[in-house]
Structure 1
């Protein structure tokens, strides 16, 4: 990558290029602009969830990004717990691939292409698609509404148990191509520069 796209701010664009090249000036930019927040694992995780909640409360779209699936699951379950407390999610007994129990109203992501399960104008369930759960039947099958559309599809209980995760948080790789108003990236001593660059390039609206 040698060109920057989608940035309104030239300084922001320059910072991402510095991050890519390993220049410490990238960190200076993010610190000076209040983008970096440090603390313990628990405190930073809590801060991320609070920032994500604030985004949603303003009516914005938001996603939390982390390097590992364990971190993603922790963040996603915290987000789900908050949505349950607000009445936005009604819990069921159906389990997902990440070990979480899904509720009606939950945001989820499909993790495997299923070309035989089509919807809309011939589109099919894809790896990385984001959906809202609108119904769960007695077999554990999920009725899903495609994010940003009125299209719906049903995935059976086996697919849900093996290839559907909560969608409030994603890995760095899983964030690629996702369009949101805000993104929050969890960084620790295991986060590589490539992951930080990819997370910093989460696509804004």
Structure 2
């Protein structure tokens, strides 16, 4: 994000337009740059409206010399990037891509940032600022690049970061570590690569909360995706953006990957929920819950991108990618 700020401060006479692949990432980017950011999809949709002669806000106008900054570009679909590049070139604007080519790939067809990095070269940061434990920054780079992985796994194992075993025993380890952190009052998240494991961990976490009395099962439950149910006190995650469903007086909207605590079950199966970060409240209708909400104690690795928690515990296998 520091590089994004430098790009921002280096824009001379032109406007900076920040974009990101997801609404949640765009929200963070906009907050850090103190300006409104958009998703790639919403930007292209409004640019298409402008090309058709329809009225759009000034945010979606593009003039010569302006800079379109695409954050988390490694997770952006290649076709989306191509459309934005073509649109910017036609308007006389420039595009800057910011991200890590080794991070999680795009859900759509991707790989453009990695190709650019390999074929044309790219400017890279020379120092990491994210880690406090001595040696961890270097270890993370070795793991990222895939070199000398045996040695780096020894580093993580020696510090209790990695435990190996059968699938069942590792599910137990992840769950027990999560429960221990929750008992300390921490916000914690379990992650896994497949939805079946995520669902199993979510149901197990819900059962633990029920046993502990931190979830109220005296009222009827709200129906979620895949037959899951939510009670008052449950944490749920939303999976689909709904810009017209606003919160905090219109300052935020319902986003894919947001987590909420259920505070009330409404007649008809809807709920009132409180955002786990900014505490804003929203009403979620029954049809949205059933189609686009799940329990939020565990998550796939892609959906976990951008979530902020105190601790996380990941279940990895031989098929798991190096980059989280």
**TM-score, normalised by the number of residues in structure 1:** 0.90
Gaps of 5+ in 2: 1-99, 101-123
Which of 189, 194, 200 aligns to 2:318? It is 189
More strand per residue: 1 or 2?
1
- For the aligned residues, what is the CA RMSD? 1.4
By how many angstroms is 1:26 displaced?
2.1
Superimposed CA distance per residue, residues 96-129 of structure 1 (whole angstroms, 9 cap, x where no aligned partner):
1142111110011100011111110311111110
Output the CA distance in 1 between the equivalents of 2:129 and 2:271.
37
Superimposed CA distance per residue, residues 19-71 of structure 1 (whole angstroms, 9 cap, x where no aligned partner):
11113122111111111111221111111111101101111111111101111
Output the CA distance in 1 between the equivalents of 2:207 and 2:213.
10
Which of 214, 237, 241 aligns to 1:109? It is 237
Structure 1 stretches of at least 4 aligned residues deviating more than 3 Å after TM superposition? none
- 2:316 aligned counterpart, secondary structure: coil
Larger radius of gyration: 2
Contact 2:221–2:265 (CA<8 Å) still a contact in 1? no
Question: What is the count of residue pairs matched by the alignment?
Answer: 195
Output the CA distance in 1 between the equivalents of 2:198 and 2:257.
14
Output the CA distance in 1 between the equivalents of 2:242 and 2:155.
43
Match of 1:175 in 2: 304
Contact 1:98–1:166 (CA<8 Å) still a contact in 2? no
Matched, 1:11 2:140: no
**TM-score, normalised by the number of residues in structure 2:** 0.58
Contact 1:52–1:184 (CA<8 Å) still a contact in 2? yes
Q: After the TM superposition, which of the residue ranges 125-134 and 14-23 deviates more from structure 2? A: 14-23
Gaps of 5+ in 1: 199-205
Match of 2:179 in 1: 53
- 1:180 aligned counterpart, secondary structure: coil
Superimposed CA distance per residue, residues 180-199 of structure 1 (whole angstroms, 9 cap, x where no aligned partner):
11110101122122xxx21x
Which of 277, 280, 302 aligns to 1:148? It is 277
Output the CA distance in 1 between the equivalents of 2:284 and 2:182.
27
- 2:260 aligned counterpart, secondary structure: strand
Contact 1:98–1:164 (CA<8 Å) still a contact in 2? no
- 1:159 aligned counterpart, secondary structure: helix
Alignment of 1:8-87 (within 5 A): 8-23=132-147, 24=149, 25-87=151-213
Highest relative contact order (Cα 8 Å, sep 6+), 1 or 2?
Answer: 1
